[in-house]
C-alpha cells in the first residue's frame, strides 16, 4: 500500500492516509457560504506543549515543535459514500457514553455523508470470528435514535484477544472500508495489529479508534468519555457515605471507585464533593501501620471529629498482596486484589483490638457507574468524538484515534498512545489540591 503521511511538523504525530482524497465532500452541498470555514486542513495543528519557555527553547534549536493534527471535516474525502460500507465495534468493559458514540457515528455517516451501509459488530472482537456465530447488526438512524438514553452498549462487548488474521478476513469478506474501534488500551493494541495486517495485504481499509476508558488513563489524551459521568455519580456515593458516617459515633464511610492504575476518578471526585478525609490512589504509596500510617491517622481523625470518609481507587495498595499469586483476566491484565474488602477488614480488626467501637459502611458503586447512561457533558463530548471520527475515516485517514488535547479534538497516531498509560502526577495540581482538600498529608512512615 502506498501509505501517505500528512505530517509536516513532527514525525511522532504523523497521521497515515490510504491515499489522496479526491472526492468533494458532500457536506459542502449542505452548507451556506457563511459556514464553509468549518473545514480543516491537514496542516492545521494544535501544539502539544503550550509552555512558552519550552516553545522558545525548541525554536532556538531549530527542532520541529510537536503538534497534533486538528480534527474536523475535510473539503476532499477519500471514500465514495454511495459505495462505502462501514463497521463499528465496542470492546472491553462497559462505560457511560458507548451508545452515544455509536449514535453519533451513525447519524454523521448517514445524514452528513449519505453512507447507507453501516454495520455493528456484536460482542467485541468475537463478532469478527465465524466460530462464535454472532449476528451482525445493521445500524441506521431509526434504530439508534434513542440509544443515548440507555447505558451499556447495544452492540455488546467482550474481553480477550482474537485471531487478527480472522478479523481482517472478516473485514475483507464484508467489503468494509472503515472500521471504527471503540475501546481502551487493549483495543488500541489490537487496532494497531489489525492495521498492520491490512497494510501488509495492501487493502484499502481505514482503522479509526475512539479511546474508551472510564479511568481516563489513555496516554496523550487529556480526557476520555465516561469520565465526567463517573465523577458525577461518584459524588453521590460520597454524599451517602458522609451522611452514614456522620450518623453514628466513630462512623466511617469507605468507598471504592474505579481506577486500576490511575486515580483520576478518585482524586477528581474528592474535589467535586469535599467530604473526603482520606483519598488513596495507585500512584501514591501509603502505609497502614506506624504513627504516620492510615490506621493511626484514622484513629486521630475519629478522636477529633467522630467520623471519617475514605475514598480509594481499586488499584491502590496492591503492595499489600505482593506475596499472593498473580492471576490474569482474558485480556492479559493482572487481576487486582480487592483493596476495599481488605481495608475494611483491617480497619475493623485494628479498632477491635483497641476496644474502640466503630460503625463502618462499605460502598462499591463501580459496576453501577459503568453501566449508567452518560450525563449531559459526556453526551456532548461523545457527539464531538463520534462525528470527528467519521470525518477522519471519510478523508481516508487510518491507524489513528480521536483525542482531546488543549481543548481541541485532534488526530493522535495509534502507535503514540497504545501500550502507554497516563497517571496522576504526584506533584501536579490535581493531587496537590486533593491533599489540601482532605488534609491527610503523607501516609508513609519515615
Q: Hey, which residues are catalytic here?
A: 215
Under 8 Å between Cβ of 118 and 88: yes
Nearest Cα to 416, choosing from 426, 425, 428, 403?
Answer: 403
Q: Please give the DSSP secondary-structure letter assigned to residue 108.
A: I
Q: How far apart are CA 227 and CA 14, in angstroms?
A: 28
**Residue 98 CB neighbour total at 10 angstroms:** 33
**Interacting residues of 375 by C-beta distance below 8 A, sequence separation 6+:** 96, 228, 229, 232
Q: In angstroms, rounded to a whole number, what is the distance separating the alpha carbons of residues 426 and 432?
A: 7
CA distance 175 to 185: 26
- The b-or-e profile of 385-407 (16+ CB within 10 A means b, else e) is bbbbbbbbbbbbbbbbbbbbbee
Q: In this structure, what DSSP letter does residue 293 have?
A: S
How many residues comprise the chain?
A: 446
Cβ neighbour number for residue 363 with a 10 Å cutoff? 17
Selection from 224, 229, 153, 161 nearest residue 189 by Cα: 161
Fill in the DSSP letter of residue 421. B
Amino acid at each position: 500500500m502506498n501509505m501517505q503521511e500528512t505530517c509536516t511538523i513532527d514525525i511522532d504525530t504523523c497521521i497515515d492516509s490510504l491515499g489522496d482524497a479526491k472526492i468533494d465532500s458532500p457536506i459542502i452541498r449542505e452548507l451556506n457560504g457563511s459556514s464553509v470555514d468549518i473545514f480543516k486542513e491537514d496542516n492545521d495543528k494544535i501544539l502539544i506543549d503550550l509552555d512558552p519557555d519550552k516553545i522558545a527553547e525548541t525554536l532556538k534549536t531549530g527542532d520541529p515543535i510537536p503538534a497534533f493534527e486538528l480534527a474536523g471535516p475535510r473539503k476532499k474525502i477519500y471514500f465514495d459514500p454511495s459505495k462505502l460500507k462501514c463497521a463499528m465495534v465496542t470492546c472491553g468493559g462497559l462505560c457511560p457514553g458507548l451508545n452515544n458514540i455509536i449514535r453519533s457515528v451513525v447519524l454523521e455517516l448517514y445524514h452528513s455523508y449519505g453512507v447507507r451501509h453501516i454495520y455493528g459488530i456484536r460482542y467485541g472482537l468475537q463478532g469478527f470470528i465465524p466460530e462464535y456465530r454472532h449476528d451482525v447488526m445493521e445500524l441506521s438512524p431509526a434504530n439508534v435514535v434513542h440509544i443515548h438514553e440507555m447505558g451499556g452498549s447495544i452492540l455488546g462487548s467482550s474481553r480477550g484477544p482474537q485471531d487478527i488474521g480472522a478479523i481482517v478476513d472478516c473485514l475483507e469478506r464484508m467489503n468494509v472500508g472503515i472500521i471504527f474501534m471503540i475501546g481502551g488500551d487493549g483495543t488500541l493494541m489490537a487496532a494497531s495489529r489489525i492495521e498492520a495486517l491490512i497494510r501488509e495485504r495492501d487493502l484499502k481499509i481505514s482503522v479509526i479508534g475512539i479511546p474508551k476508558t472510564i479511568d481516563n488513563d489513555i496516554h496523550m489524551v487529556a480526557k476520555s468519555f465516561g469520565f465526567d459521568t463517573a465523577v458525577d455519580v461518584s459524588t453521590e456515593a460520597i454524599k451517602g457515605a458522609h451522611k452514614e458516617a456522620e450518623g453514628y459515633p466513630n462512623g466511617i464511610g469507605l468507598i471504592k471507585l474505579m481506577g486500576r492504575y490511575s486515580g483520576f476518578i478518585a482524586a477528581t471526585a474528592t474535589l467535586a464533593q469535599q467530604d473526603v478525609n482520606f483519598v488513596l490512589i495507585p500512584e501514591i504509596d501509603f502505609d497502614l501501620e506506624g504513627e504516620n500510617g492510615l490506621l493511626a491517622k484514622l484513629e486521630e481523625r475519629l478522636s477529633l471529629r467522630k467520623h471519617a470518609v475514605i475514598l480509594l481507587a481499586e488499584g491502590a495498595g496492591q503492595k499489600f498482596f505482593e506475596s499472593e499469586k498473580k492471576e490474569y483476566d482474558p485480556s492479559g491484565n493482572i487481576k487486582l486484589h480487592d483493596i476495599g474488602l481488605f481495608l475494611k477488614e483491617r480497619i475493623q480488626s485494628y479498632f477491635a483490638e483497641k476496644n474502640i467501637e466503630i460503625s463502618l459502611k462499605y460502598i462499591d458503586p463501580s459496576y453501577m457507574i459503568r453501566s449508567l447512561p452518560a450525563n449531559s457533558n459526556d453526551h456532548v463530548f461523545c457527539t464531538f468524538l463520534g462525528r470527528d471520527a467519521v470525518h477522519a475515516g471519510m478523508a481516508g485517514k487510518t491507524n489513528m484515534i480521536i483525542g482531546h488535547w488543549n481543548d481541541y479534538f485532534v488526530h493522535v497516531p495509534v502507535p503514540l498512545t497504545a501500550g502507554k498509560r497516563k497517571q496522576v502526577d504526584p506533584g501536579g495540581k490535581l493531587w496537590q489540591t486533593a491533599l489540601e482538600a482532605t488534609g491527610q498529608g503523607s501516609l508513609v512512615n519515615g
